[in-house]
Amino acid sequence: MRRNPAKRSGLLDGMVSRQRTDVAFQTDSNVVVYLIHGVTGTPAEMGYLARQIAHHRWDVYATTLPGHCTRLRALLKTSEQDWVSHVHAQLVFMRERYDYVFVAGLSAGGLLALLGSLAVNVDGIGVLSPTIIYDGWNTPWTHAILPFAMKVVPRPLQHVLFHVDGPPFGIKDDVLQARVRAAYSPIRVLREWLGCWWAGWKTHGDTHTLRPPAAALQGFPLFPLKTLTDIDRLIKRVRARMGEVTAPTVILQARDDDMTSPRNAYLVHDEIASKEKRLVLLDDCYHVITVDKQQEAVARHLIEFFEVQASRQT
């Protein structure tokens, strides 16, 4: 039975806090799947998944988290609370208009999906490559001193310290990895860093007027310490409430994840209170499973799981 007798066509047109880089597909469906990219990532990470879901005749909305797809200084002006509030507001918008609302997120986006399910009743959750503990095989040694740095470095000074992302960038596919490597050139890293402090780069009004194409497609090539601190706060916030999650949940992660090992997937699986939960480990891919060599399997597992939940509630 339908919960909301609203008109189906164009329901996503008035999405709250909509950004130019958001991706939306409308199929005149009473089902919507909300996709959340990772921190420092972009909606492009969810593009293939969004298209496959749309082919399944469901509506899809891939959001742009606050501070993303623009200048790095815009990211530094946001915090985990901005990301949480953004997801909450958009989930409320969809819950009021659709019979079935599913949410899926990549990496830290998966944590935002879990937290969002505690504020808004959703029909299912997809947690992709969850980021709780940085213990993948390519985790840099500097992560061992992160807790110390986040405590002793004053928050205003955390803007000037960065971790530069390096190969394989969470991607096993050689062609795509090479493309990201070219986008994350040393020149671009230097330009992004200088852009945070060069007075001439300050923008007024619409920050999208100076949006670099690379930021919208590949995301940022570096992680400010301030942003890592924000992610750490998000992790602690989610861990404290993981046991409250009851929505049906599917968790997908690469066995050979270079950033966060499958231990993270098991942590989510074991700590959430959902009666229906499924854990899938994927071969032949790394952390960014939505664009890597097993992206088709990711889409298939997610759609199949959500389809079961929708059919049970009909």
Q: Residue 195's pLDDT is what?
A: 55
For residue 100, the enclosing domain spans: 23-312
**157 neighbors 224 (Cβ within 8 angstroms):** no
Crossing angle (nearest 10°) for helices 108-119 and 80-95: 50
Evaluate whether residue 16 is within a structural domain. Answer: no
Evaluate whether residue 15 is within a structural domain. Answer: no
**Helix, strand or coil for residue 298?**
helix
Residue type, 216: A
Evaluate whether residue 11 is within a structural domain. Answer: no
Evaluate whether residue 12 is within a structural domain. Answer: no
Q: Per-residue confidence of the chain (314 residues) as pLDDT tens digits?
A: 344 434 456 899 999 999 999 999 999 999 999 999 999 999 999 999 999 999 999 999 999 999 998 878 888 899 999 999 999 999 999 999 999 999 999 999 999 999 999 999 999 999 999 999 999 999 877 777 777 777 788 787 777 777 777 789 899 999 988 888 877 765 655 565 455 544 333 433 333 333 444 444 556 667 788 999 999 999 999 999 999 999 999 999 999 999 999 999 999 999 999 999 999 999 999 999 999 999 999 999 999 999 999 998 65
Instruction: Please state, in angstroms and rounded to a whole number, the distance separating the CA atoms of residues 67 and 102.
Output: 24
What DSSP line would sit under 36-71, residue for residue? EPPTT--GGGGHHHHHHHHHTT-EEEE---TT-SS-
Evaluate whether residue 210 is within a structural domain. Answer: yes
Evaluate whether residue 48 is within a structural domain. Answer: yes
Evaluate whether residue 140 is within a structural domain. Answer: yes
Q: Residue 211's pLDDT is what?
A: 41
CATH of residue 66's domain is: 3.40.50.1820
Q: How many domains does the chain have?
A: 1
Evaluate whether residue 157 is within a structural domain. Answer: yes
Measure Cα distances from 265 to 52, 123, 132, 188 in Å: 24, 20, 9, 33
Phi then psi for 279, rounded to 5 degrees? -120, 130
